Amino acid sequence: MAQTDEAAVWYSKAIKFGKQGLFEEALRAYDEALRLTPGYLDAWYKKGVILGKLGRHEAAIKAYEEVIRLQPDLAEAWCNKGNRLVHLNRKIEALEFFEQAARIKPDYAHAWYNAACIYALKKEKEKALDALHKVARLSRKYMEEAKTDKYFENLRDDESFKKLIK
């Protein structure tokens, strides 16, 4: 079996382990796939996801950095790196990754929503509302979330915000 075939087998095992909630086993399987094929983009990406589920945010960031190195235009990797930074309470730093994800993929509602959260946290009302307008056009599901999201506490009484979330 060629290395790439063998790596694909380990990747498949990792996916199965992850679906079963066996995250440590999944992580070991991703590591084996990456040992066999170091540039295995999907394995790096999914490894980042698993590391995040395990609360290993710094390690997840490194995995997403490798994904970004291998494929700089993968918006989801930029956004996920930002999400891990948020979990490390590095919210302001995370903003640049959400913005980059939105630049790469302008219809990426999740990236715009995350950016809106950080703008609101920074009390940049106009930027937050602008990002939320984009989100509302892309996916109304986030407007339900915005109704109770702690990031928008300082916008709750704003008429523009109220119109957006209803």
Sign of the alpha-carbon dihedral angle for 98, 103, 109, 113: positive
Going from the C-alpha of 142 to that of each of 16, 69, 114, 145, the distances in angstroms are 30, 30, 10, 5
The pLDDT, as a whole number, for residue 166 is 87
pLDDT at 4: 77
Q: Any residues with CB less than 8 A from the CB of 157 and at least 6 apart, and which?
A: none
Share of the chain above pLDDT 90, in %: 96
pLDDT at 3 (0 to 100): 58
Residues 6+ apart with CB under 8 A from 118: 91, 92, 94, 95, 98, 151
Spell out the domains of the chain, with CATH numbers in brackets.
1-72 (1.25.40.10), 91-166 (1.25.40.10)
Q: How far apart (Å, rounded) are the C-alpha atoms in residues 92 and 119?
A: 9
- Please provide residue 153's backbone torsions phi and psi, each rounded to the nearest 5 degrees: -55, -45
Using one digit for the tens of pLDDT, what is the confidence trace for 63-77?
A: 999 999 999 999 999
Are the C-beta atoms of residues 81 and 64 closer than 8 Å to each other? yes
Torsion angle of the four alpha carbons 40, 44, 49, 54, in this order, in degrees rounded to the nearest 10: 120
For residues 81 and 85, give the distance between their C-alpha atoms in angstroms, rounded to a whole number: 6
Q: Kindly report, residue by residue over 104-133, the tens digit of the pLDDT.
A: 999 999 999 999 999 999 999 999 999 999
Structure tokens at 124: 């940049």
State which residues of the chain have pLDDT below 70: 1-3
Q: Is the pTM of this model over 0.85?
A: yes
